[in-house]
Structure 1
Amino acid sequence: MVTDSHLPARTIDPRVRRYLSSLTPGRHAEPANPAHSTLYWLVRARRPRSTALAGRPPETALLTLACALAENQRALLVWQPRDDSDIEMLDTLSKAGLEWLMRRERCAGCDGHCARLDCLVVCPDAGSLDDYAGRLTRGAMVIGIVPGCWGQAARALAARLADAFPIETPTCLQAGPCCLLLGMTQDR
């Protein structure tokens, strides 16, 4: 579970702190999943302006990603809901006070900032990735989040990312309760 102990205190909005605490009552320790900590610091260090979400990540990974993006006050998290269950992601971020990050794909309020992507987060349940290939900037991060240990699902997602985007074979950064894959787009 993600708690706020692994994030610098000055960086966490009080609403986020309360919500994360409610997910793990009575627990104030490092996250059980080191991939979430790696995800946070990786995204925070790169400071992507526009990040697209393809598929539905686990709730704790979504909150970790949103916390990292919130460090960059101008960041957007772009996503296209596929059905009503995807709207729950917005509810999760609303409870944490981070709904201001979310934008729907092709929304009126984003003023075209969503057209170019500095980061793409892909989950195994993502639909077609064709729309994203031409929108990634040079050096953009492509991150795969796979619940569970390195196995068939992680290998399948790594192959899918390598086929869909101009990246080298994605590297497995973390394995454990969640597998984190990373690829960087090459210069075109």
Structure 2
Amino acid sequence: MSSHDQAPPAPDRLEIMAGIDLDDPELRRRLDGIAQRTADRLGQPIGLVSMVLDTAQFFPGSYGLQGWLDELAGTPIEWSFCVNAVKSGTAYVVPDAGNDADQSANPLVTIDGVRSYAGVPIVLDGAILGAHCVLGSDPHQFTDADLAELHRSAREISEVLQSFRRPG
């Protein structure tokens, strides 16, 4: 599955996202902490909580981003690795992005030096909102234990997001 495909339209997914106070500084602090813990446990320099929209993804939680990625806290959907976990509803793993048919031409690979990725869906109320992932600057073989850690953290992210829902 190519990251160049558009995310499927899912108004219920977007409505659920819109009902969460994603700008709350406390939510950001908690999501940043989960992203850092996951990156540390998996030995990767970057951890993200990504929300996938129809044309872009944004990061309400992150650890290890630098430069323009840190400043913008998001990318166009065409550059998103995470869209693949959202579309498939399963883990998406790229051990060596430089040699991956779908990702080798991705600007995150060619310009920003991303070489490995592992991400799992973030699910709330049965809708996949985005992905919890780690990225590396070197090729990396992710283990079943790594994916289990990502899944555990994604469930925790869902619980945190639930606690920041707006009344109504």
TM class by shorter chain equals: 0.3 to 0.5
Q: TM-score, with normalisation over the residues of structure 2? A: 0.33
Using CA pairs under 8 Å that are at least 6 residues apart, name the structure with larger relative contact order, 1 or 2.
2
